[in-house]
Structure 1
Amino acid sequence: MVFTPISRREFLAAIAKVGITMGFTSQIPFGVLAAEAPIDLAIAKGEPAQAVKLAIDVLGGIQRFVKAGQVVVLKPNMSFPNPPEWGSTTHPEVVKTVAQLCLDAGAKRVMVIDYPLRRPEVVMRRCGIPEACQGMPNVHVLALSEQKFYQPVEVPQGKALEEVKIARDVLQADVLINMPVAKSHGDTGVSLGMKNLMGLIWDRGFLHQFIDLNQGIADLGTVLKPDLIIMDATRPMTTAGPGGPGKIVQLDTIIAGTDPVAVDSYTVTITEWYGHKFSGENVKYIQNAAAMGLGEIDVSKLNIQHL
């Protein structure tokens, strides 16, 4: 099947057709919520480092996800050679903070990896992440831009994707922490957590050109399952994504959780995209992932802790 990209106009038309927006769940005191049910999402506001620590603490602390002696892969967005202010890449302070938390938990090694869409050396210099992590022991920031870094993996539950080449570092790691930046996207409407995982595969052009991209992203979620998702919504780029420059909305927000569908679906609701408010049901790859049983798309069913 040949994939036909969704234009921004088609994306906005889909939003208008559905004509609904999702409400936030009520803010429940942490003590009461913890006693009744586990927290699905932790929403923290403030400076990046502080917000990251608060959100992870509410979910049980980094020790819930990282044990002594483990190898951890962090997957930020390091796709474009733009400064952090553009909102096209994950904030360097978010990455640095999580890397340090992993070391504090006893991680043997922390691999910060992505497959940049532009010249790796330029991306790494401008995005600020290697500089932020410089000097941290056992933290390695890598651009996996050669095929030798990947190996084929079958996708048995895939509807459009049968096989994909995944970064060996991910396959060999004990822990995968997905660290996307919230931004708009010309083909999928938004680029959030599940879309960010495309930076861990070699042949992503196949998803864009030869299959339904939105189904391919959902299929990828059946074989790439992060242990933790930390959404950088500190300054979403709400137009002209994924590369920008576009309109930036300063939200100073971190969203953390373990359900990839829930994290993405909630993130959709936190701001307008292309001047419109909408919900996770309006984003096809989130719809597809929910239909495949990969998580909860209805944010009204989630236990959400606001900090």
Structure 2
Amino acid sequence: MSDNPSNTPTDDELRRVIQYAANDGEFRARLEAEIFDDLEEELEYDLEDLFEEQHALKVGKALPSAEDRARFRQMYLKELRRLQIELVRMQDWVVATGYKLVVIFEGRDAAGKGGVIKRITQRTNPRVCRVVALPAPTEREKTQWYFQRYVPHLPAAGEMVLFDRSWYNRSGVERVMGFCSEDEVAQFFNDVPHFEEMLVNSGIKLVKYWFSITDEEQEFRFQCRLTDPLKQWKLSPMDLQSRIRWEDYTAAKEETFSRTNFSFAPWNVVSAIDKKRARLNCISHLLQQVPFERVDKPEIVLPERVHHADYQRHPVPKDMFVPQVY
């Protein structure tokens, strides 16, 4: 973790950067504006949650007062920024030490897996921290060893890989939906401890999360997807089946937990009824799984721009510019 044992907010660090980088008032103002523009990006993501909040009010779902919601949202954004700074520090350490990290995100449809993955990767380097979300297997892949199509996506030294669903599809959706036989499920349960133990023995840190929501909360989120034009694409025929087969998925989850909760790769259940708290809790927990330290970096000095007397800039034709609609 950071060498700051109390994990204090990073406002002081931010101010030091601004003071160091800018003695000029105009430049400082532009730098501050750029930083707050980054925060607005998170507010844009937050609009998705605000839509659900408005829908909840329409359908009579109990919510905290407007003041309490505003107070919590302020805390959420502040804590998310602090945690994301720690994620960047962890990323730097992963690169510097050649650490290999795999994080699995599982859970029912609409449990919030994509939301926390989005917040983890929002500020990290996509060359270091990448997301794997595999589509349904091809006809050729169906004939391969089950774990084979996941192996090419495992990390090399200095990489973090987030699996948005994983090989646990076999004991979950594939089993419930009848996409595999019971013999194939039995083979999976026989193989998965050896597979994951090999990953761990090879030097990969394997962290497994299950996002847990209630029947009522999943129904509410599906209703939100039906009414939100930005989320309707998320509602697939498979999602509808997950409502019909809720109890089948519960039984499959329970057996998966009982047979794959290994000491070297345990399951971590995230209570995800409250999306924002789930994101903060998951990221906070993930940061505790990696023994990272702050990486000292050499001071970077921006070089002066080189000017050449014979350089001549050619104007860009007007018809190449995008129309300024806004």
Q: TM-score, normalised by structure 2?
A: 0.29
Report the structure, 1 or 2, having the larger helix content: 2
Report the structure, 1 or 2, having the larger strand content: 1
Q: TM-score, normalised by structure 1?
A: 0.30
